[in-house]
Amino acid sequence: MKILLLCFALLLLTDCSGQISSQKSKNIIMNDSAQTNSNVIVANANNWTPIPYESSEIDEVKRRASGTQNEKFRNVPDEFKNVDFENFKYPAVRLKNGEYDDLDPDNPLSGSQSFSISDILYVDLDIDNKKEAIVMLHAVGCGASCDGGRSIIYIYSSQKGKLKFITEIEMGSRSDGCSLKSFAVTNKKIIIEQFGRCTKKSYIDENKNHSCKFCAKDLTRSIYSIIDSKLTKESSVVIEVPERDVMGYDAEININE
């Protein structure tokens, strides 16, 4: 009988110890999670609902609808009629016929880079009732391997017949993180979503530690406005989402004045 009582007591102690250990583990996980999430803001801040992350590709019907909606913003206003953005010197590159490529065909991985225009949109971004030009470039860099491409956005205004550079917004590449997920304009606000944590610099993922070269975890949504011909970042929030492979992802463009 004494032996049975002793065994029963040992079992109780073991179970309690396990529960205490388990509770400690839970507390550690909860504390780590709280520390990790301390700088994370809820996704619906600033009254803007981000494009759903769950779908790997944007539904084709929706993409065609956005493309049709965006088409009217590709009409060139009179004040930009004399500007040839396809043959133009940008801060990063001079384009000819909408492209630049220093690729060596005999050695394609010799540190080359290429640029091309992916879109040109004309949208009123401030309160002067005049449209600004949004020029979107796609750039690819190659060394030992290629980076999957990155987006560079230039914004120009036309004042008294003269072109004025407003700003440049550079995204990260598909391999390095902070690549473009979506670009939208609504109520004179520019909303940019990027893959990764990109609150400090738009082309640097602050937590790049992923399971594959083109994998990205989390999203960053930044909201900008143009005030007195200057770009102002109003907010930048991180949205926690699972890791995914973003190689070849076709960013969605959605313009709605």
pLDDT band of residue 248 (cuts 50, 70, 90) is: confident
Q: What is the pLDDT of residues 77-102, one digit of tens each?
A: 999 999 999 999 999 999 999 999 87
Q: What is the pLDDT of residues 208-218, one digit of tens each?
A: 777 888 899 99
Highest mean pLDDT among 37-46, 57-66, 149-158, 203-212 belongs to 149-158
Would you state the pLDDT for residue 144? 79
Would you state the pLDDT for residue 228? 86
pLDDT band of residue 127 (cuts 50, 70, 90) is: confident
pLDDT band of residue 174 (cuts 50, 70, 90) is: very high
Q: Is the confidence at residue 74, as pLDDT, over 80?
A: yes
Q: Is the confidence at residue 28, as pLDDT, over 50?
A: no
Would you state the pLDDT for residue 109? 54
Q: Is the confidence at residue 140, as pLDDT, over 70?
A: yes
Neighbours of 43 (CB within 10 A): 16
pLDDT band of residue 66 (cuts 50, 70, 90) is: low
pLDDT band of residue 107 (cuts 50, 70, 90) is: low
In percent, the amount of the chain with pLDDT more than 90 equals 48
Would you state the pLDDT for residue 47? 43
Would you state the pLDDT for residue 159? 87
pLDDT band of residue 56 (cuts 50, 70, 90) is: very low
pLDDT band of residue 36 (cuts 50, 70, 90) is: very low
Q: What is the pLDDT of residues 216-239, one digit of tens each?
A: 999 999 999 998 889 999 999 999
In percent, the amount of the chain with pLDDT more than 70 equals 70
pLDDT band of residue 149 (cuts 50, 70, 90) is: very high
Would you state the pLDDT for residue 87? 97
Q: Is the confidence at residue 3, as pLDDT, over 90?
A: no
Average pLDDT of the residues of the chain: 78
